[in-house]
Amino acid sequence: MKRVLIIGSGGAGKSTLARHLGELTGLPVVHLDREHWQPGWVETPRDEWTRKVAELVAPDEWIIDGNYGGTMGLRIERADTIVFLDYSRWLCLYRSTKRQVVYRNKTRPDMTPGCDEKLDPSSVSSGGSGTTPGERPGVLAMLRAARADGKRVVVLKDPKATRRFLARVLADGALPTR
């Protein structure tokens, strides 16, 4: 386990899991939100973003958290392990809303400075960003294909499963297969 991709809905805890895995394994952590957004919530242009992601996945070791479907193929191709936080929509919605309240008018630790959190009704009504219920079947198909290609795929259904997963990583010193 040298290249770990963490995906899931907004509010699932991708960045938190990446940070914890980085502490346990010593692998460098890359938060895609921090890399993608420029101050003031300005998106990196698509062609520049694709080049940047290709550079981010080039090293032999990393943990990368984030969805950004347009570059998912690049990350899956280089990853040896994919962790999908397949949490309930309601939990993600609660956590996403809570994050907006906690970090209101402040920049959260995994985000680009100058991208302060704001209460955003569109984010709340859509259930956060990332893997929405309509996208889930496609994500699961992508994970089946990745597993068939020899990638380690770990699907975590709730925070308790994630805590058990981290405990096994700590105990084993490496990522468990399931």
Residue pLDDT, tens place only, 73-117: 999 999 999 999 999 999 988 888 888 887 787 777 888 888 888
- Specify the number of domains making up the chain: 1
Comparing CA positions, the residue from 20, 1, 27 lying closest to residue 159 is 20
Q: Compute the mean pLDDT over every residue in the chain, rounded to the nearest whole number.
A: 87
What phi, psi does 157 have (nearest 5°)?
Answer: -90, -20
Residue 159, domain extent: 3-172
In the predicted model, is pLDDT for residue 129 greater than 50?
no
Six-digit token pair at 116? 């302060």
**Residue 177, domain member (yes or no):** no
Could you tell me the pLDDT band of residue 5, with boundaries at 50, 70 and 90?
A: very high
Residue 97 corresponds to which amino acid?
T
Residue 178 covered by a domain = no
pTM for the predicted model, two decimal places: 0.88
Task: Write the CATH number for 20.
Answer: 3.40.50.300
CA nearest 81: which of 167, 165, 171, 158?
A: 165
